[in-house]
Amino acid sequence: MTMPAWVAEAGIAAQVVIAVAAIFGERIRALLGPQLRLQLADPLGQSQTLAVTVPDPSGAAPVQIIPGRYYHARVTNRTSHPEAREVEVLLTQLDIQGPDGNPQTVFSGAIPLGWQHYDMRSRTIGRATIANADLFAVHAGLNGGQPTLFFVPKIQPIDFPAQMIGAQHFWLTLIARGLNGESKPLRLRVDWDGGWDRGDAEMAKRLIVTVQP
């Protein structure tokens, strides 16, 4: 029995739809999904009072209250729908300045960063959500010691430098990633002279964070 022309045409059309979905499916899902954006929250950072535990020889860990400053990356979602689910900010690469002045990679991986105010849960990011992740912090120094720059990720790999002392020049590469979307990578350069000042204007001269192309 001869197949009606409309049946054959419908079959061809279905095959075309399947082929288009296979080729452009990821692109379509990206256009219709959340539009995450990752950016530097404030190049000046945020002045805070830090409570830092300092282990002593007796095994105790008394808390010192010292001035400090946190620096953050901000995640937003530029679409009203859908929300981005279970979002984390990942530090994917750390480079330090080599002898020739160029970046040298000392860590490559995916370290999840904590959210501001020590919130370690993943986040849902909607259009009205403003979520800041902790990049790093600087404090004035423990027991009269040197100012220290330190990272506060959710996990601390053994090959990742937990803290830095003295003049530093390094680059951070980050990405915000959720179950149904991710941002473009954000690359930051940090130049620090190793010093500390409480004032915004003074500290802005000592520690400079710039967004890299």
Alpha helices by DSSP H, the chain: 5-32, 200-206
SS3 of 191, please?
strand
pLDDT band (50, 70, 90) for residue 101:
very high
Task: Report the pLDDT value the prediction gives residue 98, as an integer from 0 to 100.
Answer: 95
Question: Quick one: average pLDDT of 134-154?
Answer: 92
Task: Report the pLDDT value the prediction gives residue 62, as an integer from 0 to 100.
Answer: 79
pLDDT band (50, 70, 90) for residue 53:
confident
Question: Quick one: average pLDDT of 181-202?
Answer: 97
pLDDT band (50, 70, 90) for residue 16:
low
Q: In this structure, which amino acid lies at residue 48?
A: Q
Tokens of 113: 């960063």
**Which residue, 200, 195, 153, is CA-closest to 172?**
153
What does pLDDT average to over the chain?
87
The radius of gyration of the chain from alpha carbons, rounded to an integer in Å, stands at 23
Residues 105, 92: Cα–Cα separation, whole Å: 11
Task: Report the pLDDT value the prediction gives residue 7, as an integer from 0 to 100.
Answer: 52
Task: Report the pLDDT value the prediction gives residue 80, as an integer from 0 to 100.
Answer: 78
Asked whether 105 and 97 are in contact (CB, 8 A), the reply is no
Task: Report the pLDDT value the prediction gives residue 56, as an integer from 0 to 100.
Answer: 72
SS3 of 97, please?
strand
Task: Report the pLDDT value the prediction gives residue 9, as an integer from 0 to 100.
Answer: 62
Asked whether 67 and 49 are in contact (CB, 8 A), the reply is yes
Residues 41, 112: Cα–Cα separation, whole Å: 18
Asked whether 47 and 104 are in contact (CB, 8 A), the reply is no
Helices and strands counted in the chain (H then E): 2, 13
Asked whether 84 and 77 are in contact (CB, 8 A), the reply is yes
Output the CA–CA distances (angstroms, integers) from residue 120 to 44, 53, 82, 108, 117, in the order listed.
24, 19, 23, 22, 9
| For residue 154, pLDDT beyond 50 | yes
Residues 175, 183: Cα–Cα separation, whole Å: 6
Most confident of 7-21, 145-159, 187-201: 187-201
Task: Report the pLDDT value the prediction gives residue 95, as an integer from 0 to 100.
Answer: 98
Q: Which residue has the higher pLDDT, 183 or 64?
A: 183
Tokens of 152: 């506060």
**pLDDT tens digits along 169-182:** 999 999 999 999 99
